[in-house]
Structure 1
Amino acid sequence: MSIPGAGALPRPTPAYRWLVLVFASLAMFGNYYVYDALNPVVDLLREQQGFSYRQIGMLSSAYNLAALLVLLVGGYVIDRFGARRAIVAFAAVCVLAAAVSAAASSFPTLAAGRFLLGMGAEPLIVAVTAVLAKWFKGKELSFAFGLNLSISRLGSASADWSTSFAAPLYSNWQDPLWLSTGVMAAGLGAALLYWMLERRAEGRFYLGEAAATDRLDLRSLYRFSASYWYIVALCVVFYSTVFPFRSFAIDYFQQAHGLEREAAGILSSLLPVAAIFATPLFGLWVDRVGRRSLFMAIGSLVMLPLFLAVTYLPPGPDVMVTIPLVGSGEVPLTLLCVILLLGGVFSLIPAVMWPSVAYIVDDRRLGSAYALMTLCQQLGWIAVPLVVGALNDRYLAGPENPAGYAPGMWFYTALSSLGLFFAWRLWRAERGQGGHGLETITVGSNR
């Protein structure tokens, strides 16, 4: 059966598709940098502004609350008006949010900046996800997602590295946030370049038929399959574990393990750095062999003991870790091994999880499906920083009482066990008659 319009125009060339990927991913680089720029200044906020751990958690939750309010509408906007316009609009909101945060002089204003960031950053992620699905479906989609995540997480790593390459800025908490504003402004420039590329491609390349947009209707959510909801549940517990841990990680390494700020930043950065290299490799591998639900289960199993290992295993000898052009620092061997393993999990699960949705959801509902998935992610993510912050305050966590951080680590472990359960349920569902091919679809197979 012929596809209308497909014969009249050529498909986009590989070079054009990869250029699209680069500019969309650079917008995500700025997005991730701005979000993680707050992590290295947690101790400064506590010392210079007198914030409690609970208030630090509230800053993270303000972001997630905004994402909850905007994501379903954002998904509809993407489906209705197109990802091209959405990327530019949401990137502009992120620049404004970064500037508000950097200029803040009080907790309410800083919280307002993080709230505004949530209104732009999470829909921006959804828009970029929809772009990749549009340009790469059937063309090594998992590999494209992996590269996008690698560039995005380079933004996270760069925020951690700023403790080294921008060390003079850390005499106060605001200057690092002004740096993040400049980085996001460059990300907005990349979004505009993507807009120009897609605008130029119209009429020159066949980009697929514009399917009728599915009206956003909460009553129709039952139409998503069980496999979709298992992926959503895994997404919720995975991101509710890893990202809140990263929010407190640099401060935790300083207070509980006695690391210097530069060494703590380098150690924290190894989590996204591992993902930078491993995520596209995992994506390429999965494109070749399938077994997507099985890989998600394996990643969940590996993550389960890691937070308790950080808490209870002997630290081991100090190891010098050097990142060229960034800096170096001595870190305990046990922490180094755990963070590298967590980085592997941080690579494997997202590289498989996000593109899997494109195989089990109808194209015309893809933007709303990704938005709904991200919204559900926020439901868990909004609560976890508040819980961990409250546990740290309740048990008087700090350099004089490192054991006070243990309850929070047990909480992360409980979430990890839920992730393993949902990944197992997905694997069981996809092996049955109602499976969508997550275990079998490869680049060389026919869907």
Structure 2
Amino acid sequence: MAVPAERVSYRFAVLLFNCLLTFGSYFCFDMPGVLQQQLQGNLTCPNGTHHNSTGRNGTLECVEGLGMTPAQYNLLYAIYAWTNAVVVILAGFLIDKLGNHFGVFVFSLLTVLGSSLFALGSHFKGSPYLLPMMLTGRLLFGSGNGSLTIVQNRITAFWFKGKELALAFGLTLSFSRLGSVLNFFFTQQFEAKFGMQWTLWGGSLLCVLGLVSALTVSVLDKVGMKQLGLDGIIQQESKKVRIQDIQHLPLRYWLLVLTIMFFYNGVFPFVADASKFIQDKYPGYSQQAAAYIAGAVYDSSLVLSAAVGILIDYVGLRGVFAVGCATLTLPVFALLAFTFVPPLVSTIWLGITYSFAAASMWPSIPLVVPQATLGTAMGLATSVQMVGVGLSNLIVGHMLGTKSSELKIPLWRWQQMMIFMLANAVACIIASIGLNVVDKKQDETLNRTRKGAPMGQDRDPADAAQLLEDETRTEGSVS
């Protein structure tokens, strides 16, 4: 017997498959971070290998490489970010106009095609086709994955707004980061046993899982909206959406977007290079151990995201949490830049602040923009975020060097990178303080506590019809 859409179990079934949308794609996104040595070999060792790691006996081992420079390697992340910056604006608008069902299928398919082309490019070692193919693969992959996150957030916001919104966002983040965590734990071992090509193709296979989940959540979302009698209302509201609506987005939204951008400027570029940084600065770490430590950022997020989501759902104070996250990130990069404190302390610390930031910043967007334009708002926020991350990847790549990979990147270059991360954290603090000031002058939607506002008496999804008609602002806190 089918479960009625108004039941709690139905929306959590939607959430389950919605979470699985990005599991495989996030696994693939950070694979270059684990395989950095293999990608950056300068082809000077016999058979195209590169002395770039330390064996158990303290001697140098040859690690097979594709010949990328640090700048070319960071370009793999930069082109992903830039593609997001361009595509997600249009993607968010198209999702608002054409619906979730269009978005989940098309963007999941793009992640499969992009990851497959990236894996195929690795077969052209020593060929002029290698870098263009792998960059094109990352371009297609970025077009799908960034846009897929938008439709994922849109589905989550629809089914959980006024209920367990931060918890639902935290769980989707946890599943995404589970992919990243498993990548940092198993990719290097898999590569050592089966080689780079089979490893990359395995990542593509995980993206196929996302495509299957996309088809499932599309059916559940469509059937559920039809049972609730909202499919016609949503179609009518979608027809009203115009790209010009961007100019009507409130100041709080833009300050929130800047806060998100500056925070992620310090997280993603750091994780992309963290594995090699740990090996270059701290003695005695193998490639596998360094990957584990770098992945601790996502380990912490995986463990904490759901609990942090419940906490923020209960206490509110999203703007305050945003300032706190940015401020507490400063010591992380200071420790990495100027001390030899074990790097695991810093990566776990960054993972904790990242968990609170993700659970407080992204779920705040549905609270300050109308539901009918949420896809456009999410797309634009992702675009600005990825512009910042892409530029940060480029800046970091040039700081670390544009010539062929060395045995070790000089420590002073790594220190420059960490100072750049510190600068982004300071900018995040300034933007988040501005966000709190504006929120206080208005209706304190973001910082409304459980005692300070009606906490959403666990409304039925059918009440979303009212939200779709709200053209000025959304409700305050969620329970």
Same fold (TM over 0.5): yes
Where 1:138 maps in the other structure, the secondary structure is coil
Counterpart of 1:60 in structure 2 is 77
2:160 to 124, 136, 150: 136
Q: Alpha-carbon deviations, 1:95-148, whole Å to 9, x = none?
A: 010000001021111111111111111110001010001111011111100111
Counterpart of 2:304 in structure 1 is 278
CA contact (8 A) 1:143 1:280 kept: yes
Counterpart of 2:22 in structure 1 is 28
Q: Alpha-carbon deviations, 1:261-287, whole Å to 9, x = none?
A: 111121122111111121121111111
CA contact (8 A) 1:12 1:207 kept: no
CA contact (8 A) 1:306 1:338 kept: yes
* Distance in 1, Cα, partners of 2:358 & 2:351: 11
Between the two proteins, the alignment pairs up a number of residues equal to: 418
1:12 to 1, 6, 11: 6
* Distance in 1, Cα, partners of 2:204 & 2:194: 15
Change (3 A) 1:228 1:38: same
* Distance in 2, Cα, partners of 1:408 & 1:389: 9
Counterpart of 1:323 in structure 2 is none
Counterpart of 2:348 in structure 1 is 340
Alpha-carbon shift at residue 158 of structure 1 (Å): 1.2
**What's the Cα RMSD here?**
2.1
1:268 to 283, 291, 294: 294
Partner amino acid for 2:276? D
Counterpart of 2:251 in structure 1 is 226
Counterpart of 1:417 in structure 2 is 426
CA contact (8 A) 1:86 1:124 kept: yes
CA contact (8 A) 2:246 2:377 kept: no
Alpha-carbon shift at residue 174 of structure 1 (Å): 2.6
Pick which of 19-28 and 306-315 moved more: 306-315
Where 1:304 maps in the other structure, the secondary structure is helix
Where 1:437 maps in the other structure, the secondary structure is coil
Normalising by structure 2, we get a TM-score of 0.83
Partner amino acid for 1:135? W
Counterpart of 1:359 in structure 2 is 367
2:138 to 92, 110, 114: 114
Alpha-carbon shift at residue 25 of structure 1 (Å): 0.8
Change (3 A) 1:125 1:390: same
Show the 5 A alignment for 1:287-302.
287-302=313-328
CA contact (8 A) 1:32 1:153 kept: yes
1:184 to 207, 216, 239: 207
Q: Alpha-carbon deviations, 1:336-394, whole Å to 9, x = none?
A: 11111100111001101111111110111111000010111111111111110100116
CA contact (8 A) 1:153 1:272 kept: yes
Counterpart of 2:414 in structure 1 is 405
2:400 maps to 1:392: yes
Counterpart of 1:429 in structure 2 is 438
Alpha-carbon shift at residue 65 of structure 1 (Å): 2.0
Q: Alpha-carbon deviations, 1:69-100, whole Å to 9, x = none?
A: 21111011110111122112100110010000
Q: Alpha-carbon deviations, 1:138-171, whole Å to 9, x = none?
A: 1111110011101111111111112455253464
Show the 5 A alignment for 1:159-170.
159-163=183-187, 166-169=190-193
> Where do 5+ consecutive residues of structure 2 fail to align?
42-64, 125-129, 457-474
CA contact (8 A) 1:397 1:403 kept: no
* Distance in 2, Cα, partners of 1:110 & 1:255: 26
Pick which of 48-57 and 208-217 moved more: 208-217
Alpha-carbon shift at residue 178 of structure 1 (Å): 1.0
* Distance in 1, Cα, partners of 2:444 & 2:137: 41
CA contact (8 A) 1:163 1:261 kept: no
Alpha-carbon shift at residue 31 of structure 1 (Å): 1.8
Change (3 A) 1:187 1:287: same
* Distance in 2, Cα, partners of 1:199 & 1:86: 13
Counterpart of 1:245 in structure 2 is 270
Normalising by structure 1, we get a TM-score of 0.89
* Distance in 1, Cα, partners of 2:177 & 2:6: 27
* Distance in 1, Cα, partners of 2:356 & 2:406: 32
Counterpart of 1:311 in structure 2 is 337
* Distance in 1, Cα, partners of 2:28 & 2:411: 29
Counterpart of 1:445 in structure 2 is 455
CA contact (8 A) 2:191 2:199 kept: no
* Distance in 2, Cα, partners of 1:311 & 1:394: 21
